[in-house]
Amino acid sequence: MTAAVLIAGIPLLLGIAGLLLPPGDDEGRRRPAAALGIAGAAASLLVTLGLLLFARKPIELSTHWISLGDVDLTLGISVGHAALYVALAVCVVALFVQIYSVAYLHDDPRYAPYAAQISLFTGAMLLVVTSGDLIGVLVGWEVMGACSYLLIGHDRRLPEAPAAAVKAFLVTRVGDVGFLLGVAILIVDAGTSRIADVLTEAPHPAALILILAGVAGKSAQFPLHTWLPDAMAGPTPISALIHAATMVAAGVYVVFRLYPLYEQSPAALAVLGVMAAITILLGALSAMAQDDLKRVLAWSTVSQIGYMTGALAVGSPAAALFHLLTHAAFKALLFLAAGAVIHAVGTNYLSRMGGLREHMPITFWSFVAGLGALAGLPPLAGFWSKENVLTAATHATEGGGAVPVWVAWLVWLAGLFAVGLTAWYATRLLLWAFFGVSRAHGPDGPDWEVGFDDARYTQPALPHDPPAAMRWPILLLAIPSALLGLAAFAPGFRTALELDEPHLGVAIVLPLVLLALGATTAWWLWREVPGVDPATALGPARPLLAAGFRFDDLQDRFIVRPTRALARAVTTVDEKVVDATVEGTGTTTSRVGEALAYAHRMSLPAAAAAVLAGALLLGAVAVLFGAAA
C-alpha cells in the first residue's frame, strides 16, 4: 500500500522533469512535454483507482522527517476512501485538462513549461489530499499558490494577466498568514505535525479560526474571494483546473481533514457559517450581472464553494465532500465547454454570442448538462449534493449540533435563496449564449459592404464544435455531471463519505419551487424582450453586482493603498533618518576634523596667546581642585 506515495509523487516528479525540458515550440519539443504531463496525471489516476479497488482499510504511512527543537515533523501519507475519491476527482480533471490543453494551446511557444506547471499543480493538490502531516499539507498548499500564479500569468497577449496572477498569489498569501500561524499553534500544542496526533489534542479555537483565513484565501470565500474572478485571465483549461479540482477545493478539503477539531469549536463553526452564507449570496448575485462567460462561471464557483463550507459549518462534512465531487465534475465540464465556445467565437463576452446552438450541438448539450447540474436540476449530479447540503442545514436548525442554531438558519436561508438565483443565471447564460440570433457583429448588426453586388455583408466564420482532443474530455465529463449524484445510492460510496441515504421528502419541494421560479423568470425576461440581455432587468443594481459589490475597491482602499503609503513612509525614514544619521556621523567627524586642522594652522601670535590661555586655565583648575582637596 506504499503505492499511495506515488499519487502525489509521480506528478510532482514529472512536473519538475518537464520544467527542465528545453523551451521551444516545434513539434519535437511539444511532444515530450505533452507526454510527461498526460503520463503524470494518468499514472496517478491508475494508482488511485487501484487503491480504491484493493485497499480495504485507510492507509497510514509515516516516517520521521526532521526534529526542530521539541517539534517532530513526519513525512506521512494518510488516505482513507474519502481522500481517494477526492484524489480520483483531481486526477480525472487534471488528465482531461492536460489532453484538452494539447489542442487548446496548439500554437503556444511556451507550452512545455505550461504542461509541467499543470503537473506540479496537480501533484501539489494531491499532496494536500494524501498528506498525513500538516507540513506536507502546507507544502502542497503553497506550491499550488505558486503554480496558480505561474499559470494565471501564462497568457502573454493579455495585459491584465500578470496583474491577475499577482493578485491571486497575494490574496491567498494574505490568508496564508493566518494558515501558517494556525498550523504553528496546532504543531506547538501537539509537539508534532502528524495530523493523526494533532487531532487528538484539544484544539485552540484561535488556531482553527486562523486556519479559516487560509481556507478563505484558497477557497475564494468572503472576504478573500476577490482573486478568483480576475484569475479568469488564465487560459481556460487552467480555470477548469483551479475551479474544479485543485486550489479552491483545497480549503474545503483541509477543513474536512481537520473536522474532528472543528467539531469541538462552535466559535470556529460560526465564523465558517457566516462566511459561507455571505459567500453563497455574494457569488450568486454577482454571477447574475456578468457579461463575461468565464466570469459568470467564476462567480458561480465562489457561490458553490460557499455551499461546501456551509455544509461543513452545519456539521455535515460528508455533504460538503459530496458537493465537492459533483461540483468538480460539472464545473470542469462547464469550463472546458466554455473554452470550446471561446475557441470558436473568439470572445469571452456573452453580448457577442447568441445562436450557437445550431453550430455547436455537442458544446450546447454539454452546457445543458453542466448548467442543469449547477442549478440543481433533478436528476443531475448537483441536485443530489445540494439537496444533501440543504437537508444538513435543516437538521442543524433543530439544534443539538456543535454549531449555533442561528448560524444554521443563516446557511439554510442563504442556500435556499441562492438556489433560485443560480437557476436564474444558469438559464440566462444558456439562453443568451446559445439561443436567438448571433450577435457576433455587435449590437449594430453585420458590416454592410456597399459594392456592385446588391447588399452584401461580411459573413463571419461559422462557429463549430471543437477538435477531438477537446471534444472527448467534454463528452466524458458530461457523464459524471449527469450521473454522479446517483452514487449517493451506492452503499460503498456512501460509507466512504459517511453520507446519509438520500430521502426525497417534502424538504426538497421548496428548493425545487425556487429553482423553477428562477429559471422561469429568466426565460420570461428573455422571451418578452428579444435581443436584450435578461440581466438588464437588474436595473441600477447591475453595475454594482457586475463589479462584485466593489470589494476590489475596498481592498484597494483599505489594504493596498495603506501598505503602499506605509512602504513610502518607511523608505523615507530609512533614507532620511536612519541612513542620514550614519552619513551625518561621518560628515560631522570630517567637519570637526577640518575645524581642528584649521585651528592648528593659526598665526604665531594667536597660537602663543592660545597656549598661554591654556596654561592659565590648567593652573586655575589645579588651584581650584587643590583648594577643594
Partner 1 sequence: MTVALIAVLLIPALGAAVLAVFPSRLDHLARVVGTVFAVAALVPIVVLAFARDDARFSYSALQPWAELDVSWVPALHLDFHLGIDGVSYPLVALTGLLTALCCAYTLWRVPENGGSGRTLVALLLVLETGILGTFLALDLLLFFLFFEVVLLPMYAVIAGWGGADRRRAARKFVLYTLFGSVLLLLGVLTVTVAAGTGDLTQLTGGLGLSRTTQQVAFVLLAIAFAVKAPLWPLHTWLPDAHTQAPTVGSVILAGVLLKMGTYGLIRVGVGVAPLGAEWAAPVLGILAVAAVLAGSLICLRQTELKRLIAYSSVGHMGFVLLGIATLTATGLQAALLGNVAHGLITGLLFFLAGAIKDRAHTGDLADLGGLRESAPRLAGILGFAAIASLGLPGLAGFWGEAFAVVAAVERGGGLWTTLAALAAIGGALTAAYFLRLLRKVTHGPVGTPVSPTISGAEWLAWSPLAALTLAVGVAPALVLAATSAPVRALTEAWR
Binding residues (CB under 8 A) for partner 1: these are: 19, 23, 65-71, 110, 113, 135, 138-139, 141-143, 146, 149-150, 153, 156, 161-163, 166, 169-170, 173-174, 176-177, 180-181, 184-185, 187-188, 563-564, 566-568, 570-571, 574, 578-579, 582, 586
Cβ 589 to partner 1, closest distance in Å?
9
Q: Which residue number, 456 or 561, has a Cβ lying nearer to partner 1?
A: 561
In three-state form (DSSP H/G/I as H, E/B as E, the rest C), the secondary structure along 521-535 is HHHHHHHHCCCCCHH
Q: Output 174 or 362, the one with its CB closest to partner 1.
A: 174
Q: How far is the CB of 275 from partner 1 (least distance, A)?
A: 20
CB 212 within 8 A of CB 254: no
Closer CB to partner 1, 141 or 330, in the complex: 141
Q: What is the nearest approach in angstroms of partner 1 to the Cβ of residue 7? A: 17
**507: nearest Cα among 388, 375, 374, 382:** 388
What's the closest the beta carbon of residue 146 comes to partner 1, in angstroms? Answer: 5
When the beta carbons of 184 and 402 are compared against partner 1, the nearer one is 184
Contacts of 346 (CB under 8 A, 6+ apart): none
> Which 3 state secondary structure label does DSSP give 603?
coil
Q: Of 342, 341, 347, 349, whose CA–CA distance to 367 is shortest? A: 341
Q: Which grid cell sits at 585?
A: 556621523
State the nearest-atom distance from the C-beta of 271 to partner 1, in Å: 18
C-alpha–C-alpha distance, residues 356 and 462, integer Å: 9
206 within 8 A of 139, measured Cβ to Cβ = no
Give the residue with the Cβ less far from partner 1, 167 or 471. 167
Which residue, 128 or 381, has its beta carbon nearer to partner 1? 128
Instruction: Please tell me the distance from the alpha carbon of residue 166 to that of residue 174, in angstroms, as a whole number.
Output: 12
CB count in 10 Å sphere of residue 394: 18
Cα-based distances in Å from 500 to 129, 306, 487, 495: 23, 21, 12, 9
CB of 173 to partner 1, least distance (A): 5
Nearer of residues 113 and 502 to partner 1, judged by Cβ: 113
- Residue 314: all three cell numbers together: 452545519
Q: How far is the CB of 344 from partner 1 (least distance, A)?
A: 28
**Spatial contact of 86 and 325, defined as CB atoms under 8 Å apart:** yes
Write down the least CB distance from residue 159 to partner 1, Å: 8
Shortest Å, Cβ 71 to partner 1: 6
Question: Cell numbers of 166, please?
Answer: 499577482
137 versus 287: smaller Cβ distance to partner 1: 137
Q: Which is nearer to partner 1, 208 or 410 (CB)?
A: 208
DSSP letters of 178-224? HHHHHHHHHHHHHTB-BHHHHTTSPPPHHHHHHHHHHHHHHTT-TTS
